[in-house]
Amino acid sequence: MAKLIVETADVDRFEFVKDKQDSSKPTTYILKGIYAQSEQQNGNGRRYPYELLKSEIDRFDREMIQTGRALGELEHPSCPEIRPQESAIRILSIKEDNKCWIGESCILAS
């Protein structure tokens, strides 16, 4: 059984999906939710202007997500480089929705 571990009790912001489309492959667990938001204070207390965040997310999508290199760690690292050996998720997609970006990631281990 897989468990979702979070730092806060605010887990309602995410959708946790168990994807078992092919019985010959391991089950894939998908996490969906708000990955970034602009023009309002976000979860880490920052407020980003829409145009700046949109530009950076478009670049990140093009360079990292679409090339399959967008990884994420469990803890918020102190440096911008992600350590592959510490990766917990791979970001699959990110879509804009009213100045927020909804992301979808697969969990790398269960």
**pLDDT at position 69:** 93
- Taking the CA atoms of the chain, what radius of gyration do you get in angstroms? 15
Query: pLDDT of 86-110, one tens digit each?
Result: 888 999 999 999 999 999 999 887 5
Q: Domain locations in the chain?
A: 14-107
Closest among 78, 92, 88 to 110, alpha carbons compared: 88
pTM of the full structure = 0.76
Torsion of Cα atoms, 70 then 74 then 76 then 81, to 10°: -40
Q: How many Å from the N-terminal Cα to the C-terminal Cα in the chain?
A: 8
Alpha helices in 35-78 (DSSP H): 50-60
Task: Report the pLDDT averaged over residues 64-72.
Answer: 94
Predicted local confidence at residue 64, as pLDDT: 95
- Which residue in 46, 45, 41, 61 sits closest to 101, CA to CA? 61
